[in-house]
Amino acid sequence: MAYGTLIGGAVNAAVKVSPAWVLACGQAAPIVSSGVFLSPIPTVQNIMREKTVGSLPLLPYSSMCVNAFMWMTYGM
């Protein structure tokens, strides 16, 4: 098969990635995912301080609680 031939609608091209790039992505992934998981903390602190959700949408925060419960159940 020639380089860059079309197979099933996608180009079959070999991609060479340097080991340094793989290491950098491997090191950055946990840091970035921690930031994503910790991003709602200021909003949760605000809700706890004010004792009301005010006009915040319910879906994202209820989904967050359900997601945490599902992961906890999966981990047990």
Number of structural domains, the chain?
1
Residue 57 lies in a domain: yes
pLDDT tens per residue across span 9-48: 555 556 677 888 889 999 999 999 899 889 889 988 998 9
Residue 36 lies in a domain: yes
Residue 3 lies in a domain: no
Residue 4 lies in a domain: no
Give the model's pLDDT for residue 22: 87
Residue 11 lies in a domain: no
Torsion of CA 59, 61, 65, 67, to 10 degrees: 60
Name the pTM for this structure: 0.50
Give the model's pLDDT for residue 17: 74
Give the structural domain span for 61. Answer: 16-75
Residue 47 lies in a domain: yes
Whether residue 47 contacts residue 53, with contact meaning beta carbons closer than 8 Å, is answered with: yes
pLDDT tens per residue across span 48-64: 999 988 888 888 878 88
Q: Which amino acid is at 61?
A: Y
Residue 8 lies in a domain: no
Q: Which of 21, 16, 67, 18 is nearest to 40 (CA)?
A: 67
Give the model's pLDDT for residue 74: 93
Q: Which of 32, 35, 62 is nearest to 47 (CA)?
A: 62
